[in-house]
Amino acid sequence: MTESKTDQKYPVSNDLKENVKTMNDLLQVDKSFDVIRLDLNYANKDMALYLVDGFAKDDILHLLMKYLSKLEESQLDGDTLQLLLKRFIPYIEIDTIDDLEKAADTVLAGPSILLVDGVQEAIQIDARTYPARMPQEPDLERVVRGSRDGFVETLVFNTALTRRRIRDKSLRMEYLQIGRRSKTDIAICYIEEIVDPKLVEMVRESIKKIDTDGLPMAEKTVEEYISGRHWNPNPVVRYTERPDTVAVHLYEGHVCIIVDGSPSVLISPTTFWHHLQHIEEYRNKPIVGAYMRLVRFIAVWGSLFLLPLYYLFSIHPELLPDALEFIGPKDTGNMPLLMQFIIIEVGLDILRMAAIHTPNALGTALGLVAALMIGQVAVEVGLFINEVILYLSIAAIGTFTTPSYELSLANRLVRIFILISTALFGVYGFVLSTTIWILWLTSVRSFNVPYMWPFIPFNYKAFRDVLIRSPLPLKNRRPRFLHPRDPDR
């Protein structure tokens, strides 16, 4: 990372006034109402306490100040710092810092800093709290059976939810700070006795190379920096807000990235097929889960190829067998078929964006307007035909069935690409565009893992498990592409 002006060192001195002056300059206490400095005197020693209003737990700090107020001067004779740490500040999360630059960054992160005259180190009291919501089930990953908790925006809550499910002594939570100004907390999570050390090193180094002022979009900023190939619409990491999903992937040998300020955890590396699996499939009997996965795959492939194939058979009805002669419009309406598909496709995206920005109280009204405008009225005036709306609705449902929101958006672009290619070049356009898409996916890699594994390169047993949800007792081997230290479950 490039060096900035904030990388200077300001060692803590014995002179409290000098330390206070430096901290005031670093934190600009006089210019920010929420950055507070308290001038204190306990046991005839001048002290200064720095904190951010809203981050500090007032009751804990009041209790500590009450203890300190009872000190006699003679009780601090000797090594003042050690006496305070071991006897007179009865708190668990306490540490020392010897650099005021780091102390200032610590204050802005939430902990409080206590400076004592004559002591050449600052005392860090991690009595912080953040505005936070309680864990609740994620909207995008709901299940009928299973846990109802989900990650939140606070890093330590998320690490605790993970450890609750993995009580393994080799579970590691590596701490990093990224962003020259934001100093965003990041945790790299993995099981040391399972994961490939080379994978951990690759993830760690890719995160350390992030050189930016801050991470305002949290995990999304991290993903764009570490994934590469920025014009690739397909997600190369998987997002999840479910602790049980993270636990499953950690047991397989994946590395998870938890970013403070976001409820979404990044799972890496992932393949194309990871984005087509859902936790609900493993919350049911194997045969039921296999059926659900099959239906989901059919829906996803339908969302990709249904519209291009319908268009192809509409303009080339001779390709249809006699039993399917009913496919294809008798009347194409007042607009070309391709224009109808494109307009409705874009219209659905506009409706999706409108739904996101529409208050819940107005959501029903928005649905009625959409049904009347895009459906009934558009057909009656001859803009669209019924078949176009029918097939595009089926494709849209298939898109919504895709477990990964990011993959569903990428598939929407692929569908438009194949549709336009088919409209321009017919059968050759359909075959060529599909081939280009598959070759593109084959060229993608996620931390040196082939994106289409185990289809390309082909691995029969692994691909069978992708297509059919296997019983858990039979899944006694970890995925080979992760090169786990311990391949047996």
**DSSP assignment of 325-355:** TT-S-S---SS-HHHHHHHHHHHHHHHHHHH
| Type of residue at 73 | E
The pLDDT assigned to 7 comes to 60
Low-confidence stretches of the chain (pLDDT beneath 50): 1-6
The rounded distance, in Å, linking the Cα atoms of 438 and 421 is 15
The pLDDT assigned to 4 comes to 46
**CA quadruple 483, 239, 159, 110: dihedral, nearest 10:** 130
The pLDDT assigned to 361 comes to 64
The pLDDT assigned to 5 comes to 45
CB 389 within 8 A of CB 371: no
The pLDDT assigned to 3 comes to 43
The pLDDT assigned to 383 comes to 77
CB 39 within 8 A of CB 48: yes
The rounded distance, in Å, linking the Cα atoms of 383 and 118 is 82
Closest CA to 257 of 198, 181, 184: 184
- Model pTM score: 0.88
CB 418 within 8 A of CB 302: no
The pLDDT assigned to 119 comes to 92
CB 249 within 8 A of CB 256: yes
Residues in the chain: 489
| Type of residue at 254 | H
CB 255 within 8 A of CB 203: yes
CA distances, 352 to each of 227, 349, 369 (Å)? 27, 5, 13
CA distances, 319 to each of 274, 307, 328, 341, 418 (Å)? 35, 16, 11, 21, 18
For CA atoms 141, 146, 148, 151, the dihedral sign is negative
The rounded distance, in Å, linking the Cα atoms of 393 and 379 is 14
Look up residue 377 and give its two tokens. 């009225």
The pLDDT assigned to 362 comes to 66
Closest CA to 388 of 321, 332, 350: 332
Closest CA to 51 of 157, 118, 126, 153: 126
Look up residue 384 and give its two tokens. 């669209």
| Type of residue at 483 | H
CB 388 within 8 A of CB 337: yes
CB 263 within 8 A of CB 150: yes
Helix (H, G, I), strand (E, B) or coil at 431: helix
The pLDDT assigned to 372 comes to 58
